[in-house]
Amino acid sequence: MDSNAIQLLLVEDNPGDARLIQEMLREARGVSFSAEHVASLAAALERLAAGGIDVMLLDLGLPDAQGLETLIKAHECAPNVPILILTGLDDEELAIQAVQEGAQDYLVKGQINSSPFTRAIRYAIERTQAEEALRASQDLLRTVIANAPVVLFSTDPEGTVALCEGKGLIALQLRPDQIVGAALSTLERTVPLMAQAIRQALRGRTLTNTLKINQLAFEAHYAPIRDRNGNVCGATGVATDVTERERAEAELRATVAELERRNQELNSFTYSVSHDLKEPLRTLEAFSQFLLEDYSQRLDEQGRDYLARIGNAGARLKRMIEELLVLSRMARPPEDLSRVDVAQVVANVSAAFQAMTEQRGARVEVDGPLPPALGDVTRIEQVFGNLISNGVKFNHSEPPVVTVSVRDVSSDNVTFSIRDNGIGIDPQYHEQIFGVFQRLHRREDYDGTGAGLAIVQRAAEALGGRVWLESAPGSGTTFYVTLPAWAETPAAVAVA
């Protein structure tokens, strides 16, 4: 038996007609049939129940069944098997009824020959397979829509809801049949934003909006439905429940606002405390100096040493308070951003450190042009001033050299490089050094409070940039500073 042959069941009680049909099947070209013949509906139903039949030729006049009842029972037994009616009745009305009841074709005995006959059989099989594939696709789509956490809807050209499905209806405590058939005027009274959007979609627009329904939030997307000629014949859309997302976003906004408020309070507190500490500190520093000047002869060497230590500690505390004030100001984003000439900033900083660099025999070099950045002068001066100062201070080379250059430029950012040939920093401390008043060396070895890099980081981040480094002990240090790039605009204000 040919495994590729079409398995055909012939249900015909007339032996002569059965032989004629079988002969036409054997003469078929390009296709092979494996035909089984039964003479009653009961035998046909038994064979169909066993399976393996690809197509059935059915006579409507059988010993145990007559007319459309024969077709109906056969179709109920094997709904996926294509059935071709083969009868001697040339009845147009009966043919239409047969097709309506599920027959693929209606063929009249004596009016067919081999080629059209076999072609009709093949077409019937292909149509049934296509219909089955379409049903499977529709079932899958229906299942997806019914279980998706959305509401899928469509309308006719007048805006009347023709389809409404989706698990999102459960949240609204609605059934599809409560929505289908709703006119656009009804939607305008209940959900006006949705009605307005559907009207726009019926005019050919694609759009999105957010709907508030029964204390729930839905993000809805709308699009026109077009026919094969491109004409709008309806509107379709999908609405997703975003209630939890909006609630989370609202909570996040409230949290951010609270953090900003608390940060502002903390900055104000830091500024206030630092400012208020200066007054008693000035008194302490002044009177310790008065004691040294006016009562030096009455004190022994140890007493004078104690007063000197008090004075030095007061001076150091004053510097720490001043740097706390600077840190507080640098951490706040500036009110206005403008063009900053970084090359001029580096030149100004180098000039300010001239006494220190000459004393150490150090050099500050600029390797190539430095593009402008978007920011404010005060913060950018703090960034380059502290990094250049550290590059000279923590340096035993002869001579100390600090080189400023550009590492990378893009449309959004510019990254500067500040490289020195100093003592270097162990990688395990690369994060720690940005903490406030963090020191890696004794105060006797290197002067300073340890707040410089914290100021650099806060200032860069306040401008929308960042700072990082590459370094190892004995190999020098390279700091990288990324700042927003300056983009030429007519409203730009140049700051030197």
pLDDT band for 107, please (50, 70, 90 cuts): confident
Percent of the chain predicted with pLDDT > 90: 21
- If asked whether residues 103 and 212 sit together in one domain, one would say no
DSSP E strands, 30-170: 33-38, 55-58, 61-62, 65-66, 83-87, 105-108, 150-155, 161-165
| C-alpha–C-alpha distance, residues 330 and 434, integer Å | 14
| C-alpha–C-alpha distance, residues 410 and 262, integer Å | 35
Q: What is the CATH number of the domain that holds 257?
A: 1.10.287.130
Pair type for strands 150-155 and 161-165: antiparallel
Alpha carbon of residue 364 to chain centroid? 46
What pLDDT score does 274 carry? 65
Q: Are 78 and 40 in contact (CB under 8 A)?
A: no
- If asked whether residues 437 and 288 sit together in one domain, one would say no
Query: Domain boundary at 241, 276, 308, which?
Result: 241
**What tens digit of pLDDT does each residue of 377-412 get?**
888 988 898 899 888 887 878 899 999 999 988 888
**What tens digit of pLDDT does each residue of 43-72 get?**
999 999 999 899 998 998 899 988 899 999
Q: Are 131 and 99 in contact (CB under 8 A)?
A: no
- If asked whether residues 213 and 268 sit together in one domain, one would say no
- If asked whether residues 97 and 200 sit together in one domain, one would say no
**What tens digit of pLDDT does each residue of 293-316 get?**
888 788 888 887 888 788 777 777
Residue 496 pLDDT > 50: no
pTM assigned to the model:
0.45
- If asked whether residues 491 and 346 sit together in one domain, one would say yes
What pLDDT score does 20 carry? 86
pLDDT band for 494, please (50, 70, 90 cuts): very low
- If asked whether residues 260 and 362 sit together in one domain, one would say no
- If asked whether residues 97 and 170 sit together in one domain, one would say no
* Mean pLDDT score across all residues of the chain: 83
CA distances from 259 to 252, 253, 269, 271, 435 (A): 10, 10, 15, 18, 20
What pLDDT score does 482 carry? 93
| C-alpha–C-alpha distance, residues 446 and 463, integer Å | 30
Any idea which of 140-144, 415-419, 447-451 has the lowest mean pLDDT?
Answer: 447-451
Mean pLDDT of 245-252: 89
What pLDDT score does 293 carry? 81
- If asked whether residues 232 and 300 sit together in one domain, one would say no
What pLDDT score does 446 carry? 53
- If asked whether residues 286 and 209 sit together in one domain, one would say no
Residue 340 pLDDT > 70: yes
- If asked whether residues 378 and 281 sit together in one domain, one would say no
Query: Domain boundary at 180, 214, 241, which?
Result: 241
Q: What is the CATH number of the domain that holds 109?
A: 3.40.50.2300
Mean pLDDT of 243-256: 89
Comparing CA positions, the residue from 272, 270, 280, 266 lying closest to residue 318 is: 280
- The answer as to whether 246 is a domain residue is no
Q: What is the CATH number of the domain that holds 226?
A: 3.30.450.20
For 363, the token pair is: 């050099």
- The answer as to whether 1 is a domain residue is no
pLDDT band for 235, please (50, 70, 90 cuts): very high
Percent of the chain predicted with pLDDT > 70: 88
Query: Domain boundary at 263, 297, 331, which?
Result: 331
Residue 493 pLDDT > 50: no
CB-CB neighbours of 217 under 10 Å: 17
- If asked whether residues 280 and 153 sit together in one domain, one would say no
pLDDT band for 492, please (50, 70, 90 cuts): very low
342 versus 275: the higher-pLDDT residue is 342
**Any idea what the Cα angle at residue 95 is, between residues 116 and 135, rounded to 5°?**
80
What pLDDT score does 495 carry? 40
- The answer as to whether 476 is a domain residue is yes
Print the domain residue range for 166.
Answer: 148-241
Does a cis peptide bond (omega within 30 degrees of 0) precede residue 192? Answer: no
| C-alpha–C-alpha distance, residues 55 and 84, integer Å | 8
- The answer as to whether 451 is a domain residue is yes
Mean pLDDT of 143-158: 80
Name the domain count of the chain: 4
- If asked whether residues 366 and 432 sit together in one domain, one would say yes
Q: What is the CATH number of the domain that holds 445?
A: 3.30.565.10
